[in-house]
Structure 1
Amino acid sequence: MSGKFSARSAGGSLKIMDFIPCLILALIFIVHVGPSQAQQNSLSKSGETPSIIIKTDDSLLKLQGERYTLSEAIVYALKNNPRVRISAKDIDTEAYGIDAARAERMPRIDFGSSASRYRYPAPLTPPVISGLFGAGPDLPEYSRNIYDAGGSLRLPIFKGGRLYRAVLVAELRKGIAQENLVISKQDLIFNMSSVFYKIAELEKLYVSTDGTVKQLEAHKSDVEVFYKTGAVPYIDLLKTDVQLAHAVEQRLAVKNNRESAYELMKNLMGMDDTEKNIVIDYQKAPPQLLPSLEESLTKSLVQRPEYRAVRKKRMISEERVKMAQGKRLPDVYVGGEYGGKAGDSFGFKENWYFGARMSIPVFDGGLISAEINRERAELQKVLEEERLIRLAITREVRDAYLNITHARERTEVAGKAIESARENARIEKLKYQTGAGTNTDYLDAQTDLLRAEADYYRSFFDEEVARASLRKAMGETGY
């Protein structure tokens, strides 16, 4: 007994005062270890294991605000996000472009009038000369002030296929705008999911850091008692203070990152009221079977809006080549005009004409050929862009699969590490309280436990983000 207690005593001989630190150690052991040991025994009796399942401690987080599940937050964002609404307006813009292209095929009727003053008197109508046996020439009226009014009609008949191809191009542009809207929605869904899972990770990490702070505060109280009795050196108290300050700093950093993530989430949701407090309501989804890699690649090339959009862009380039070639064909249109002219007497003389006109390009200095070659070069660029997007989609799908696999493996390893780290921290605490361990070993055990929990939460939510990335890579809009 004397040898056991002399490990923490100031002298070598056994005295009454030497028993005081041991009595204090025993009391601390009963107070601190007893409840945890009883809890451990109750878990063992109930057949449960120390839980590492994600669970929110609302009493610890103390967050107040309107709660949103992931689905509710995404629905709100799809209605209010500015980028999505801009993409929706682009569809309306392109729809008006279709109307404009169709209007080019319709007759155009204009009304005009003018008032002019000439230096010399000018005829109101052309002179009319009848035949040899007619009534004779009809001399026009002259005036220096001429007023005219009338209407004109112009109807394009044929422009080398450019009229109906322009409508087709406008419809394809609207289709691209619709695909861009889907792209905006899918990007928003993925970004919202990533931020949501990041907030959930930070909330769980805040629980861990706060628990570490409380453990170190309790440990500091023990060290202070030991130091006052002379059982431990002053350096143990200093090390504990440093470790506690570092843990508090970590907790503050996690809290700040969480608040910043919430601000980003409100920005993505399109909330105008930036002072509004919101809280996520994370609900772990049931495990889902992943489709095979081949199936995912096939679906991605069919469902990805980027690939559908670039294919429509290729069709537009093909039509533009044909439109440029159509400039070599004749332009045919019909037109007419009806109006009248009058002088100072305002006695209007009517006149009209109606006819058809055709123009054929003969020589333009190589302008049409240059335009055709330019459109062909643009078509080749679009073909390479289509190939680039196809390769990028394939890479995104494969990367998402790898990220899911790696995150799942990391989660399994981290889950086992948490069990070991918790047990190690418990043992080191017992050893220190009974005088068999050192302060450094216990502080290292607490650091290892916090690191293990952080690794677990990070890998767990990395898998959630990777699954969202796979859905986006496959072109799915679900969440």
Structure 2
Amino acid sequence: QSGIILTRSRDALRIARRKLSLLTRLPDNATIAEPALLKGSVGGLEELQQTALANREEYKNSVMNRDLAMENIKIVKGAHYPQAYAEGALSYVGSDPETLMEGTTYYGGIRLQIPIFEGGLMKAEVSEARSRLRQAELSSEFLRRSIETEVYESYVNLQTETSVLKLAAAQQEDARNNFTAVEDLFSQGLAPSLALIDAQQTLLLTEREYVNARYEQQIAILRLNRSTGLFGKGF
């Protein structure tokens, strides 16, 4: 039975290597190493949320749209204020032989444009600009809260998976010690073969749980990296 499981596991590993090569363009015989265990803390929740807001491109764009909408109100208002224009120029006329028209002429002027009656146009345009600002503010606020919630969920999930990993490691260690003790007793004829088989199966089960717990923790780390905008950079 163990030989069959080993053969199938080897085939599954070959297929997994091929899929990895397809995604990463690494050679099929590339060395595969287990990711390092998470050491220490990833930081506080508020710190991670601020990091996410500083790195997530969609939030940056949302804030920029909000600022543009705010600036647009000033532009719309300014377009209806009195406008003053100053103009100036000079011209030179020369001839040979000289004439009375020859010489340099300077001229300048100021033009003042004052809107007297607009039929409520300014009020309507400003109202529309403020409505766009309100929409941009609501969109930015909703996105901020969504990102903070996403970071919170990823943070809690990582804490959970880290706790599960610690428990799985402790259970694996206990199962290994128990198997070693039962194996010694069995070699001395003080324990039946059934006890040895049970200890071996328990050890195998805890080893699988430990491997699964490590996998889930790595997935949780990647999700937290993605939610904070640090995907690919790690901690």
TM-score range, shorter chain: 0.5 to 0.7
- Which residue of structure 2 lines up, in the alignment, with residue 102 of structure 1? none
Distance 1:308 1:466, change over 3 A: closer
Supply the AA of the counterpart residue of 2:40: Q
- Which residue of structure 2 lines up, in the alignment, with residue 415 of structure 1? 169
- Would the aligned equivalents of 1:314 and 1:379 in 2 still touch at CA under 8 Å? yes
- Would the aligned equivalents of 2:69 and 2:132 in 1 still touch at CA under 8 Å? yes
- Would the aligned equivalents of 1:328 and 1:361 in 2 still touch at CA under 8 Å? yes
- Residue 53 of structure 2: which of 289, 295, 304 is its match? 304
- Which residue of structure 2 lines up, in the alignment, with residue 379 of structure 1? 133
> Is 1:324 the counterpart of 2:76 in the alignment?
yes
- Which residue of structure 1 lines up, in the alignment, with residue 19 of structure 2? 257
> Is 1:456 the counterpart of 2:213 in the alignment?
yes
Superposition deviation, residue 330 in structure 1: 1.1
> Is 1:394 the counterpart of 2:175 in the alignment?
no
Superposition deviation, residue 352 in structure 1: 5.2
- Which residue of structure 1 lines up, in the alignment, with residue 108 of structure 2? 354
CA deviation digits over 1:145-204, x for unaligned, max 9? xxxxxxxxxxxxxxxxxxxxxxxxxxxxxxxxxxxxxxxxxxxxxxxxxxxxxxxxxxxx
CA deviation digits over 1:107-162, x for unaligned, max 9? xxxxxxxxxxxxxxxxxxxxxxxxxxxxxxxxxxxxxxxxxxxxxxxxxxxxxxxx
Supply the AA of the counterpart residue of 1:333: Y
Superposition deviation, residue 255 in structure 1: 0.9
Superposition deviation, residue 458 in structure 1: 0.6
- Would the aligned equivalents of 1:397 and 1:473 in 2 still touch at CA under 8 Å? no
**Structure 1: which 5+ runs fail to align?**
1-215, 221-239, 264-273, 431-435
Distance 1:255 1:246, change over 3 A: same
| Structure 1 CA distance for aligned equivalents of residues 143 and 105 of structure 2 | 62
- Would the aligned equivalents of 2:48 and 2:151 in 1 still touch at CA under 8 Å? no
| Structure 1 CA distance for aligned equivalents of residues 137 and 205 of structure 2 | 54
- Residue 336 of structure 1: which of 88, 103, 110 is its match? 88
Distance 1:318 1:260, change over 3 A: same
2:139 counterpart SS class: helix
| Structure 2 CA distance for aligned equivalents of residues 286 and 302 of structure 1 | 19
Superposition deviation, residue 396 in structure 1: 2.6
Supply the AA of the counterpart residue of 1:383: E
Distance 1:385 1:467, change over 3 A: closer
TM-score by length of 2: 0.61
- Which residue of structure 1 lines up, in the alignment, with residue 190 of structure 2? none
CA deviation digits over 1:25-45, x for unaligned, max 9? xxxxxxxxxxxxxxxxxxxxx
- Would the aligned equivalents of 2:82 and 2:115 in 1 still touch at CA under 8 Å? yes
Distance 1:402 1:303, change over 3 A: closer
Superposition deviation, residue 385 in structure 1: 1.9
Distance 1:364 1:304, change over 3 A: same
- Would the aligned equivalents of 1:329 and 1:360 in 2 still touch at CA under 8 Å? yes
CA deviation digits over 1:440-461, x for unaligned, max 9? x9xx999958844641331342
Matches within 5 A, 1:240-255: 240=4, 243-244=5-6, 246-255=8-17
Superposition deviation, residue 478 in structure 1: 7.8
- Which residue of structure 1 lines up, in the alignment, with residue 189 of structure 2? none
Superposition deviation, residue 284 in structure 1: 3.4
TM-score by length of 1: 0.34
- Would the aligned equivalents of 1:410 and 1:459 in 2 still touch at CA under 8 Å? no
| Structure 1 CA distance for aligned equivalents of residues 167 and 23 of structure 2 | 27
Superposition deviation, residue 392 in structure 1: 1.8
Distance 1:379 1:302, change over 3 A: farther
Distance 1:403 1:339, change over 3 A: same
**Structure 2: which 5+ runs fail to align?**
187-192
2:40 counterpart SS class: coil
- Which residue of structure 2 lines up, in the alignment, with residue 80 of structure 1? none
CA-based RMSD of the aligned residues comes to 4.8
Superposition deviation, residue 383 in structure 1: 1.6
- Would the aligned equivalents of 2:63 and 2:140 in 1 still touch at CA under 8 Å? yes
Q: Give the percent of matched residue pairs that are identical in Structure 1 and Structure 2.
A: 17
| Structure 2 CA distance for aligned equivalents of residues 291 and 317 of structure 1 | 35
1:362 counterpart SS class: coil
